[in-house]
Amino acid sequence: MARTIRYRQIAGELARRLESDSTPPGGLLPSEAELGREFGVSRVTVRRALESLREEGLVASRQGFGWFRAAEPVRQTLARLGTIEDQLEASGLTSERKVLSFAFVSPPGPVAEILGEGQVLEVRRLHLADSRPFGLVTVWCPDDLGREISRADVERHSFVDLLDVSFGGATQTIGASLAGGDDAELLGVAETSPVLWARRVTRDSLGRPVLVAEHVFAAHLTEFVVELEGESASSVPMGLRLVEGS
């Protein structure tokens, strides 16, 4: 009986903390071990308290993340060209961007294979949703197009709005990985936490690649959605391919 009362006390205290907005939606809670030390109880008792809060819809958990304040993930459609700002605003969130770096550089190997050798404009930025880290984006643009763009431009506008070209479409590849040190710190998650990534190659109307962009998102804050038209007898998603592990 004492254990039952204690886990309810802990659940009540954690619920009060969540209601005080000290932990934003999607924000990580201390680990079970840390909470156990704070309250002087076992992890079993802590987990029971957290599970009771999950039943109330206040917290959630994901493998590799631990526990976090419950939040609806941002649904990002892959069926059309769009910007992160568009996706966030469609979810009722306030979007903000911070440019982390702006430079003309030699492209990394995979980007050089797409845009060609020689210098490219490389921009790295952090996107915020309601003032909390949401996604990291790195964009590469051919030198001849990037020379007309300033750092102030990319702080206010997307490349889709800045490039004076007629766009013809894009190819997007998505996958999952684990957050490294720098990415984890910027996204506000623990190292080796799951992340979703998307690599987009955008072409002009003549088929020339004009942008390469890599997006990295904390996996508990976003999900990718594709609308499939028609019916298929196969239960295997179209476009699926096997990636060999190392």
Question: pLDDT (tens digit, 9 = 90+) per residue, 83-140?
Answer: 676 676 766 777 888 999 999 999 999 999 999 988 999 999 998 888 888 889 999 9
| DSSP H or E run through 203 | strand 194-204
- Decide whether 2-69 matches 74-225 in CATH topology: no
Write the CATH number of the domain with boundaries 2-69.
1.10.10.10
* pTM of structure: 0.71
Helices marked H in the chain — which ranges? 2-19, 32-39, 43-55, 84-90, 109-115, 143-146, 151-156, 159-162, 181-187
Encode pLDDT of 144-178 as tens digits.
Answer: 999 989 999 999 888 888 998 999 888 888 888 88
How many whole angstroms separate alpha carbon 187 and alpha carbon 20?
A: 22
**Mean predicted confidence (pLDDT) in 228-238:** 57
On whether the CB atoms of residues 159 and 101 are closer than 8 A, the answer is: no
Q: Tell me the per-residue pLDDT of 192-228, one tens digit each, with 9 for 90 and over.
A: 888 889 899 999 999 999 999 999 988 887 877 777 6
Query: Which residues is 141 bridged to in the sheet?
Result: 121
Q: Break the chain into its structural domains and give their ranges.
A: 2-69, 74-225
Q: Which residues contact 12 (CB under 8 A, 6 or more apart)?
A: none
The CATH number corresponding to 74-225 among 3.20.20.140, 3.40.1410.10, 3.30.420.40, 3.40.50.300 equals 3.40.1410.10
